[in-house]
Amino acid sequence: MSKANDALDKLRDLPANELRVALARIRDELFRLQLGKHTNQVTSTAAMTDKRRELSRILTILRARDLDLEKQGARSPSRSRVAKEG
C-alpha cells in the first residue's frame, strides 16, 4: 500500500471532532508556510502542496460523512462501482 493510502486510512479512522482539530492545525501550518513564502523564508514550496492536499483529504472525508456516504473507519464506494450497480 502506498504512503498516501496509509495516511488516508489513518484519517478515516479518526472521529469527526479530531478531524476538525487536525483541519485547524493544517490550516495554521499552511498559513505559516504561505507567510514564509512571501517573506522569502521558505526554500521549498513542496510542503505547501502537501499541506493543501492533506487539507483537501480531510475536507473530503468530513463532507462524505455529512452526506452519510462514509462512516468512520470505512471507505466510501468508488464512483465507478456505484455507477455500474445503479
pLDDT in tens, 75-86: 655 544 455 555
Domain range list for the chain: 3-85
pLDDT in tens, 31-76: 999 999 989 887 788 999 999 999 999 999 999 988 888 787 766 5
Determine the Cα–Cα distance for residues 68 and 81; give it in Å rounded to an integer.
17
Full-model pTM: 0.74
Alpha helices per DSSP H over 14-78? 16-38, 46-66
Burial class (CB in 10 A: 0-12, 13-18, 19+), 85: exposed
Residues 6+ apart with CB under 8 A from 58: 11, 19, 22, 23, 26
- For residue 11, the model assigns a pLDDT of 87
Determine the Cα–Cα distance for residues 42 and 82; give it in Å rounded to an integer.
43
CATH of domain 3-85: 1.10.287
